[in-house]
Copies of this chain bind each other. A is one copy, B any other.
Amino acid sequence: MPDNEDIEPIELIKRAIDAEDPSALLAAAHDTHYADLAELYQDLNDAERDFFFKTIGPELATDVVAELPYTLIEDALGHFKPAQLRFLLSNLSDDDRVDIFQVVSEEAQVRFFSLLGPRDKELTKNLLKYEEDTAGGRMTTHVGRITADMTVKQAITVLRRDREDAETLARIFVVDVQGRLEGKIRLRDLAFETWDTSIRDIMEDADEFILATADQEEAARTLSKYDLVVLPVVDEFHHLLGVITYDDALEILQEESTEDIEKLAGIGGEQNELSYLNTSAVSHFRRRVNWLVGLAFLSIASGYVMFRFSETLEKAFVLSLFLPMVVAAGGNSGGQSATMVIRALALGEIDKGTLFRIAWKEIRIGLFLGLTLGICMAAFITFILPYLHLTAAPDFSFFKLSLAVSSALTLQVLSATLLGAMLPIGARACKLDPAVVSSPSLASTVDVSGMVIYFTTATFILNL
């Protein structure tokens, strides 16, 4: 028998499940971080999941369930008997409990709610008032509260009583008798000050806070900007309702980045928190198909332009050599500027009123880019193309062609760059998601303008 000391606990768990050995599973599960258990759980089949939860019991399962992707939670809770479920639900921290209520079916919501104790019922109802993606929807209400007139000793006594209850004591907040936020204290100050010091003398101002109705992204950005461990959440009367913690911020920022990246690639729907491999092919298909079909029908528009200009193309088929290039250059440059602006919007770098500064910047960038590309292509057409013998007519004017291609290219890149920068800002102004004006849908639009610009410029300059 191999020495168990040398084997990763996660490997021991897998073996215990395969061998259906409850005591080995329990021992190994207690040696493993719940985040790793939650990861492992996703790879189990239904019978294995049942055995896993039955063995580890509702106490350890609480942490695991809180870490699971939302789509797996309702099914996971189905593995518990009502008495176990009652324990598990009351054992969850209040923000995790509310998260669960927000993602399960209505039928499950009613059933779970009936299992809660009266205090948890009240608390959950209050937290459910806030939208899932607001600061209030994300906060935990467990926070160390003291008043300014306490001494350090009194504060420690109060906090020691609440110790098991508070998710974080890294920051303790000072409130007045009405519960309004007055200041903050570091735990280290309590630990190192003499016991008769007054809280009022050592508390700091709580300058950073956020309204419960504010967007969760704003909360995450505030935490990140000011390097805070916790950010107090208040209502409009400045009552302290709860806190958002740094680990929420990490999660929020990761989710938002993934969502933006996916939208830029024309992938629809909510990110479901399941990992790539654990998402079924059917659900991948669903998130991708709508945009693809929509974009395909959009692309027929540029096919129509090409079809309309068939005579121009027939007269000088050498034009086809540069058609995809001019069209693609617009898609690429528009995609670049759209991405820059969308990211700047997401990071909160762009305010209202900077529209003209952005437009002016992108006009210059687009012009530089278009001219550079135009010059490169003109050089290619003048110095290299004649030696490739691709055009039949010996009196063909390579000079005119280079002029036509480079003018069209400059126009196309300039307009696409400007459009790419302005569309996300326009979308934001219309309260739409800027990232949905994504590179592929922008590219489809720019394709049409590229065809038109190319063929009209060519007709004009080549006198076709």
Contact = CB atoms under 8 A, between A and B. Distances in A.
A250 to B, nearest CB: 5
A156 B310 contact: no
In the complex, the count of this chain's copies comes to 2
Contacts of A338: 265
Nearest to A291: B332
A132 to B, nearest CB: 20
Interface string A227-263: 1010000000000000000110111011001101110
Contact of A321 (B249, B307, B344): B307
A386 interface: no
A440 interface: yes
A389 interface: no
A247 B224 contact: yes
Interface residues of A, number: 109
A176 to B, nearest CB: 20
A331 interface: yes
Given A156-B192, A169-B188, A376-B293, A336 B225 contact: no
B288 A365 contact: yes
B321 A303 contact: yes
A225 B293 contact: no
Contacts of A307: 317-318, 320-321, 390
Interface stretch (A52-60, A103-111, A322-330): A322-330
A321 B292 contact: no
A464 interface: no
Nearest to A271: B343
Interface stretch (A10-18, A119-127, A273-281): A273-281
Interface stretch (A76-84, A209-217, A354-362, A426-434): A354-362
Interface in A328-384: 328-329, 331-333, 335-336, 338-341, 343-344, 347, 349-350, 354, 357-358, 361, 364-365, 368-369, 372-373, 376-377, 380
A364 B227 CA distance: 45
A33 interface: yes
Contacts of A170: 170, 187, 229
Contacts of A343: 258, 261-262, 276
Interface in A280-327: 281-282, 284-285, 288-289, 291-293, 295-297, 299-300, 302-304, 306-307, 310, 313-314, 317-318, 320-325, 327
Contacts of A224: 247, 250-251, 254
B33 A281 contact: no
A447 B365 contact: no
A409 B300 CA distance: 13
A328 B267 contact: no
Contacts of A246: 229, 246-247, 250
A418 B372 CA distance: 34
A285 B364 CA distance: 9
A197 to B, nearest CB: 14
A206 interface: no
A190 interface: yes
A44 interface: no
Nearest to A246: B246
A136 interface: no
Contact of A253 (B188, B253, B333, B372): B253
B349 A264 contact: no
A340 B276 contact: yes
A163 interface: yes
30 contacts: A33-B207, A156-B192, A159-B192, A170-B187, A187-B191, A229-B246, A253-B253, A253-B254, A254-B257, A265-B336, A265-B339, A267-B339, A275-B347, A276-B340, A276-B341, A284-B361, A289-B368, A289-B372, A292-B336, A292-B369, A292-B373, A293-B372, A299-B325, A303-B323, A306-B323, A307-B321, A324-B451, A328-B440, A328-B443, A332-B440
Q: Which 6 A-B pairs have the closest CB atoms?
A: A276-B344, A265-B339, A257-B257, A299-B325, A191-B191, A275-B349
